Amino acid sequence: MFVEKVKNGGKDYLRLVNSVRITNKDGYKVSQKKVVLNIGYLEKFDDGLPDYVDRLKKSFKAGVPLIPALEPYCENVKPREKYRFTFEEGDPNCAGEPKLFSHLLL
């Protein structure tokens, strides 16, 4: 999915689009765009700084879009999980030697 800018009624308009490969009537594979979300007029979201559309596209790819309505459509970047292990000598629940798992401990 990607964000694109189009003209609508003489104004710039933003929408979220998904590109899909289909087979046309002649048997050739072609790409076709499907609109996922109509975001709205660009002037509604533009912050006045240069290259707003480029910054919006980059932020959407990074998973932190400038427009909050796009967050559900971002690829989920799984946060890094943290684990805490404790090892005690002679504990029956110990999975192994602490030296074997030392690379997991930060």
Within-domain flag for 93:
no
Q: CA-based angle 75:79:81, to the nearest 5?
A: 145
Within-domain flag for 56:
yes
Within-domain flag for 34:
yes
Within-domain flag for 35:
yes
Contact call for residues 74 and 85 (beta carbons, < 8 A): no
pLDDT band at 74 (very low <50, low <70, confident <90, very high): confident
39 is in which domain, residue-wise? Answer: 2-72
Within-domain flag for 62:
yes
Within-domain flag for 88:
no
Within-domain flag for 83:
no
Q: Give me the pLDDT at residue 54, please.
A: 94
Per-residue pLDDT of 12-46, as tens digits, reads 999 999 999 999 999 999 999 999 999 999 999 98
Number of domains forming the structure of the chain: 1
3-state secondary structure of 78: coil
pTM, whole model, 2 decimals?
0.63
Within-domain flag for 46:
yes
